[in-house]
Structure 1
Amino acid sequence: VAEGVALLYHCDLVFCGEHALFALPNIALGKTPLYGISLLAVKSAGYKLAAQKILLSEPISPSEAIAMGIINHVLEDDKVLPQTFLAATRLGNLPPKALNATKRLLKAAYLSGTKEQKELEQETFDQLVDGAEMKEAFNAFMEKRKPNFD
């Protein structure tokens, strides 16, 4: 789930239905963020909202996903695919060199510092990946019970 939300931070355009839910449950699963999410969430949402959603592993509503920079627009559920198709068609009709150059500029600005943050995230994740906390969190999740970290 968190990996999917991390992927959305790297997309140019994201539309979702009004009943969509997102989450960044890394900590609840005994993991730490990866893929630059700790930097991108803070850059997009501000520290307070990013900390709330990441530290508490709270569900993220569509309106919160907009505030956090995860998505661009919330649509009625049955309008997501048609709107996505329209956006893709519009992009496909733009001058490709100008489009690609502009995307490169936007991504460079947005992703500045991400490489270093991803390295720090991976190092931190690797320190916890086979630990007792992560195993207990995962087992509790699979067994639908509250984890015991004592």
Structure 2
Amino acid sequence: MKALVDFDKPLVAAVHGAAIGGGTTMLTHCDFIYAGESTRFQMPFINLAVVPEFGSSCSVPARIGHLRAAELILLGAPFDARRAVELGLATEVVADNDLRAKATDTARKLAAKPAAALQASKRLMKQPFREQIKAAMKAENEEFSTQVRSEDAREAFTAFVEKRKPDFTRNIKSQATA
């Protein structure tokens, strides 16, 4: 994660299929994100009784604002490529068949630019937020470690394996009777 946050060259991503959890949050560290028209995104951390990761508790609100970030992170609902572009989480929706070519074309255009100026420009754009992202990643890892061992997480994972909707009220009931 740290290597991706500190990477000083432009990152071009071509996203196709399902980008769930880390598949979505890692994109907040990319500079160009092309999403295939069939791509589906989701940050289901809360649904699994854990917290966001990869600095996304900082990077997503910084990129799209608190209200929109709350919708995606706190509700954990899936969204499509067009919504990702509307929110500023993707650069462009591209036909699935043209996705790789579009990302490659962008990478070639970037490779033709003066490397030192390109890297310095990226560093300058990321500099104000880099330490905040790293602090968020540290805090998320600590909280994740706690939450993943919780009764709610146990219920979420059990429900997932049993292919049923989790019932988090069970834990409230058992805590009330304890």
Fold similarity call, TM over 0.5: yes
Aligned to 1:135: 154
Q: Say yes or no: does 1:97 pair with 2:116.
A: yes
Aligned to 1:30: 49
Aligned ranges 1:73-92 → 2 under 5 Å? 73-92=92-111
Aligned ranges 1:110-125 → 2 under 5 Å? 110-125=129-144
Between 1:28-37 and 1:134-143, the stretch displaced more is 134-143
Find the partner of 2:84 among 40, 45, 65.
65
**SS at structure 2 position matched to 1:48:** helix
Higher relative contact order, structure no. (Cα contacts within 8 Å, ≥ 6 residues apart): 1
The alignment-based identity, stated in percent, is 34
Between 1:47-56 and 1:112-121, the stretch displaced more is 112-121
| Rg (Cα) greater in structure | 2
Aligned to 2:39: 20
Cα RMSD (Å): 1.4
Deviations 1:62-115 (A, max 9, x none): 122123332111111111111111001111111111111111111213435212
Q: Which amino acid aligns with 1:79?
A: D
Q: Give the TM-score, by structure 2 length.
A: 0.79
User: Is contact 1:13–1:71 with CA below 8 Å preserved after alignment?
Assistant: yes
Show structure 1 runs of 4+ deviating over 6 A: none
Aligned to 2:13: none
Name stretches of at least 5 consecutive residues in structure 2 with no aligned partner.
Answer: 1-19, 171-178
- Shift in CA distance, 64/40, structure 1 to aligned 2, threshold 3 Å: same
Find the partner of 1:2 among 7, 21, 42.
21
Deviations 1:2-54 (A, max 9, x none): 11111100111110111211000001111101111011111111111110111
